[in-house]
Chains A and B, each alone.
Chain A
Amino acid sequence: MAIKERNHLQDIHATHDVHVIKNGLVDIPMLQLLDAQGNLLSQELDLWDEQTALRIFKSMHYIRILDERMVSAQRQGRISFYLACTGEEASVIASTAALSNADMVMTQYREQGVLAYRGYRTEQFMNQLLSNALDPNKGRQMPIHYGDKALNFMTVSSPLGTQIPQAAGYAYGQKMAGEPALTICYFGEGAASEGDFHAGLNMAAVLHCPVIFFCRNNGYAISTPAHEQFAGDGIASRGIGYGVNTIRVDGNDPLAVYLATLKAREIALTDNCPVLIEAMTYRLAAHSTSDDPASYRAKSEEQEWQLKDPIVRMQRHLQQQGWFDQAHIDEYCTIQRAEILQALKTAEVQLKTNISEIVTDVYQDIPAHLARQRDELIAHIKLHPEHYPATIMSNKD
């Protein structure tokens, strides 16, 4: 491939006018395949199969139920914190459905639907949320900071946007290793303001990384509405600026999300390049259980978006396809609700991580100074056990 002089200089036309490029020069349409009634908007589609559609639908229901139960568990003081995905289930779950399980997933923190679709079990969710000893993160992180090596789900970290350049690097590694897999990186439109977003997209484009950047443009970053976050045409317009293939999709339309992600995956793996998907959706939930949206947005706005509920849209689509069985889905939901409550109870009484783990995993091996700090801590607790009633120690500690 011939390297152009300064990349694209020879494609630039000279002009004699003071040429000001204003808004609206680039038209970025939004892929939409189902209307709010679930009607197919195009007849020329390679549709999904019934099994995939039903699996997506059930996962969406599962996450809706999990979120409702966990928000109320937080209200009851049973878990310390929670973040719901309500309204964004199609964006997260239908995109996951278009991937291979071998694809690495790097998320922000609202993408529990990925785990549900990939088969994370209810008790696994609960062990993390309750920070008990069975949590693979050993109870070290706040609730919803999941991580699961077996499901190729990178452990969540709270700082925003940090996963975006990491995803480019991980994808480059996959390419170098010859793995037939890519990395998908989820984030919100607020996180896309971080420097890491710009670094990540630019590097992925320049270094030809097979990565899908999936932006959930849900309208709010805590209280900050999208119009105070950026003045341009959403996040999609930035992909164009960085030379990244870009698709904008209706994030509440599961079929559109699914087909867009399938296409993005094909492009990323075939051409070894990044693809940006901007999913236009709405955070029906509060930012977290520490937040109350009533103080910064109108109820009427939420009600408008409730009419676009992705679960309702999916159900109507399934009905039209003749794939919907009310009794079956009711039974599924009843079973899941019961299972979640039971798993919550079980996880609550699980022991928390042993105190000796306080110094593990800081490094691969415990250095001498940390071993000493652990020993001093344990000696102190043994002298004053009445002040540390919840500390778990084994006999050998």
Chain B
Amino acid sequence: MAQMNLLQAINHALVTAMSADDRVMVLGEDVGHFGGVFRATSELQAKFGQARCFNTPITEQGIIGFATGLAAQGQVPVAEIQFADYIFPAFDQIVNETAKYRYRSGGQFNCGNLTIRTPYGGGIAGGHYHSQSPEAFFTHIPGIKVVIPSNPYYAKGLLLAAIRDPDPVLFMEPKRIYRAAVGEVPEDDYTLPIGRAHVVQEGDDITLVAWGAQVSIIQKAAAMAEAEGISCAVIDLCSLLPWDVNTVCSSVQRTGRLLINHEAPVTSGFASEIAATVQGECFLYLEAPIQRVCGLDTPFPLIHEKEYMPDEHKTLAAIKYAVHF
């Protein structure tokens, strides 16, 4: 075990994957010699050569199209989109190509070896073009998986799982905690299962669900609620597509209440999907309306970032509302 931050864990996962399999290649803007704008791909070019870790021209549609073809050929590309805010030129490739390669060919062809890594989320004074959380768009695309780690241990294990998964995976990295999230990470090769949530803590009165950097926010809110005598279960969803319905519903059946927290705008955010499923599975267990503590339905603002964010105070207020409903 070693102490690593989230970035180091991701870098470690990439080194592990590239060492174990010569077909693993890393591509994207500035990922080569420079090691990426956040340094996630640091030293990979020096270790594995320019043919396996290379800069691309600035064209996200090109990066994902290229990586999709590379995966179809049998290589194992890990493509970086520098900020999730810049993934949209690649949306056509992801929606119409990457996600449908297997289905449209009746299983003859696939690009399942592809992993797309991209930093997302607010809290870095990035305004609307360096802060967005576009995960919900991608959960609406049958044929890809969506994975979001919340700490270094999960980042390494889930990224290795994503790279080796037989289907294309969008791996979204909460950049706000790239350096802030520090923890013990095994130095050897390990994977964690995609599609399984992690119960951070058990509780009796309400279930709190989040992913990425917001997991630490609901943990803070849970601690504040604890001080007021409210016992919260805390679940890190880890994967959004597919997501772990059983873990969430089992918890809600015990607590009778659910709160979902995400940074993305509330309307058509992934909380809506969870709420719809949970009311179907747990209808008679629910003792309060399901709470969504999310971003506002506005572009991500710079100067009002603090007010915009679904912070622990808004979360605590919603916890109390649900518990006293």
Beyond A190-B58, A194-B58, A230-B57, whether A380 also contacts B314 by CB under 8 A is yes
Asked whether A359 lies within 8 Å of B296 as measured between CB atoms, the reply is yes
- Report which of B85, B129, B266, B298 forms a contact with A359, defined as CB distance below 8 A: B298
Apart from A131-B303, A190-B57, A387-B311, what 14 extra A-B contacts exist at CB < 8 Å? A138-B303, A140-B128, A140-B303, A141-B129, A142-B127, A158-B130, A159-B86, A159-B129, A195-B89, A228-B55, A353-B304, A369-B267, A387-B313, A388-B306
Beyond A139-B303, A359-B298, whether A195 also contacts B129 by CB under 8 A is no
Residues in B lying within 8 Å of A, measured CB to CB: 29-30, 32-34, 37, 54-55, 57-62, 85-86, 88-89, 125-130, 266-267, 296-299, 301-304, 306-308, 311, 313-314, 317
A329 to B317, CA, bound (A): 60
Asked whether B126 lies within 8 Å of A370 as measured between CB atoms, the reply is no
User: Which of B58, B267, B296: most chain A CB closer than 10 A?
Assistant: B58
Asked whether B304 lies within 8 Å of A222 as measured between CB atoms, the reply is no
**Residues from chain B with Cβ under 8 Å of A373 in the complex:** 266, 296-297
Interface of B is mostly: loop
A381 to B33, CA, bound (A): 46
Asked whether B302 lies within 8 Å of A223 as measured between CB atoms, the reply is no
Task: List 4 A-B pairs, minimum CB-CB distance, nearest first.
Answer: A139-B303, A223-B34, A193-B57, A158-B129
Asked whether A140 lies within 8 Å of B302 as measured between CB atoms, the reply is yes
Beyond A355-B304, A358-B298, whether A142 also contacts B33 by CB under 8 A is no
User: How many residues of A sit at the interface, in one of the four size bands?
Assistant: 35 or more
Give 6 A-B contacts (CB < 8 Å), ordered by A residue: A193-B62, A194-B60, A223-B55, A290-B37, A357-B304, A362-B298
**Residues from chain A with Cβ under 8 Å of B125 in the complex:** 80-81, 142
A280 to B60, CA, bound (A): 25
A379 to B118, CA, bound (A): 35
A295 to B322, CA, bound (A): 52
Asked whether B307 lies within 8 Å of A388 as measured between CB atoms, the reply is yes
Instruction: For residue B303, give the distance in angstroms from its CB to the closest CB of chain A.
Output: 3
A158 to B132, CA, bound (A): 13
- Report which of A142, A291, A352, A384 forms a contact with B130, defined as CB distance below 8 A: A142
A387 to B307, CA, bound (A): 10
- Report which of B54, B85, B297, B301 forms a contact with A370, defined as CB distance below 8 A: B297
Instruction: For residue B28, give the distance in angstroms from its CB to the closest CB of chain A.
Output: 10
**Residues from chain A with Cβ under 8 Å of B303 in the complex:** 131, 138-140, 352-353
Closest to B298 in A: A362
Closest to B83 in A: A158
Asked whether B34 lies within 8 Å of A295 as measured between CB atoms, the reply is yes
Closest to A291 in B: B37
A373 to B308, CA, bound (A): 10
Q: A221 an interface residue at 8 Å Cβ cutoff?
A: yes
Q: A391 an interface residue at 8 Å Cβ cutoff?
A: yes
Instruction: For residue A374, give the distance in angstroms from its CB to the closest CB of chain B.
Output: 8
